[in-house]
Amino acid sequence: MNWFDQSIMARRAVAKGKPGTTHQLTEVAQGQYHYTLGPNPKPVLHIQPGDVVSAETHDAFEGKLRSESDKPSELLNLPYLNPQNGPIYVEGAEKGDCLAVYIRDMKPRGPQPCGTTALITEFGGLVATGDTALLNTPLPERVKKVDVDAETGVKWTDKITLPYQPFIGTIGVSPEIESISSLVPDYYGGNMDLPDVAPGAVIYLPVHTKGAYLYLGDCHAAQGDGELCGVAIEHPTVTTVQVDLIKDWTFKWPRLENEQFYMTIGSARPMEDATRIAYRELVRWLAAEFDFDEIEAYMLLTQAGRVRLGNMVDPKYTLGASILKSIVGQAR
């Protein structure tokens, strides 16, 4: 039996994890992409719990970096970065519910080289930035274009090919009243840049507004832990997700489930606060839905918890804390 049939999504969601109608959210259907996650735009799509959406995502630069001689400082225009598909209105979703998004498939689209990475001035994990505001001279800008193929991988150099390990860099729902830049990760999801948000996983997002308003974009073909220079292998994709709704499952920060583990995701600065958020949420989850009290969960995670660094470059850093299903069994 597929693990997914025993997932929380399959057991508790309105459509029981069964796929409904498939919607094509093409570039044309999307029209205007969005640079904030908020409750104001008119939804681009209304769906029922269980429906499948196949979205044509842009890369984080909306395709503006086409050649290795391009200058990001000339072509990119803050805050108009990281374009998002959506918002998708999910019928029946209300504050206090949970949106369950099962990532079914991702594939690159567009002409080669369709992958882009870059050094952007005063952005990245090993350089002075707008926040870590120093007097050192910035590194020079640089753009690198790479072929991305779902079968053969990411052709980094003649000698090095990286496996194609796609994931969704930015996915989230709308805050209740704020409209936040799609560059920011937070309690509603957003720009987490966490490689576990990949095909085969279910991400659970706490709903803050009627209809949930799901956004997604910023898909990566490969990324190391931390997204060190700030730009993964950005690429346009067709990304297919199945969206379901769990009524009255209320929690504060995104959660994720895949075949191996349960994960909670925190975003904050400094990095220890993001880690504390993730681990406290996992303690609380274990206490609420597994057979542990909080202290037992705290002590068990000390011996068996796992941490994945998503990004160390965005306005908030993102980390996931997880525990293997082989250790804790299955959520109630």
Q: Which of residues 184-223 bind its own copies (CB under 8 A)?
A: 222-223
Q: Which of 64, 298, 325, 330 binds its own copies (CB under 8 A)?
A: 298
With binding defined as CB under 8 A, does residue 69 bind its own copies? Answer: no
- Give the three-state DSSP class for 38: coil
* Distance, CA of 203 to chain centre: 9
With binding defined as CB under 8 A, does residue 174 bind its own copies? Answer: no
Q: Which is nearer to its own copies, 11 or 276 (CB)?
A: 276
Give φ, ψ of 171 to 5 degrees: -150, 135
Q: Which is nearer to its own copies, 12 or 58 (CB)?
A: 58
With binding defined as CB under 8 A, does residue 317 bind its own copies? Answer: yes
Q: Which is nearer to its own copies, 17 or 185 (CB)?
A: 185
Q: Which of 130, 151, 158, 248 binds its own copies (CB under 8 A)?
A: 130
Q: Which of 82, 85, 116, 117 binds its own copies (CB under 8 A)?
A: 117
Residues 313 and 60: their CA atoms lie apart, in Å, by 14
Query: Least distance (Å) from its own copies to the CB of residue 42?
Result: 14
Query: Among 193, 208, 325, 307, which Cα is nearest to 257's?
Result: 325
Query: Among 226, 288, 257, which Cα is nearest to 3's?
Result: 257
Sign of CA dihedral 207, 54, 266, 82: negative
Q: Is there a contact between 311 and 320 (Cβ–Cβ < 8 Å)?
A: no
With binding defined as CB under 8 A, does residue 150 bind its own copies? Answer: no
Query: Least distance (Å) from its own copies to the CB of residue 316?
Result: 9
**In one letter, which amino acid is 296?**
E
Q: Which is nearer to its own copies, 69 or 302 (CB)?
A: 302
Q: Which one of the spans 17-25, 85-93, 106-114, 321-329 is the region binding its own copies (CB under 8 A)?
A: 321-329
- Do the bridges between strand 255-257 and strand 115-119 make them parallel or antiparallel, or are there none, so unpaired? unpaired
Other Cβ atoms within 10 Å of 46 Cβ, number: 12
Residue that is written with structure tokens 């991702």 in the block: 106
Prior bond of 270 cis (ω within 30°): yes
Residues 53 and 75: their CA atoms lie apart, in Å, by 31
Q: Which one of the spans 68-76, 172-180, 197-205, 239-247 is the region binding its own copies (CB under 8 A)?
A: 172-180
Q: Which of 102, 262, 279, 285 binds its own copies (CB under 8 A)?
A: 279
Q: Which is nearer to its own copies, 181 or 242 (CB)?
A: 181
Residues 95 and 80: their CA atoms lie apart, in Å, by 28
Query: Least distance (Å) from its own copies to the CB of residue 144?
Result: 6
Query: Least distance (Å) from its own copies to the CB of residue 306?
Result: 5
Question: According to CB under 8 A, which residues from 49 to 68 bind its own copies?
Answer: none
Question: According to CB under 8 A, which residues from 222 to 261 bind its own copies?
Answer: 222-233, 252
Q: Which of 84, 170, 174, 181 binds its own copies (CB under 8 A)?
A: 181
Sign of CA dihedral 85, 58, 189, 180: negative
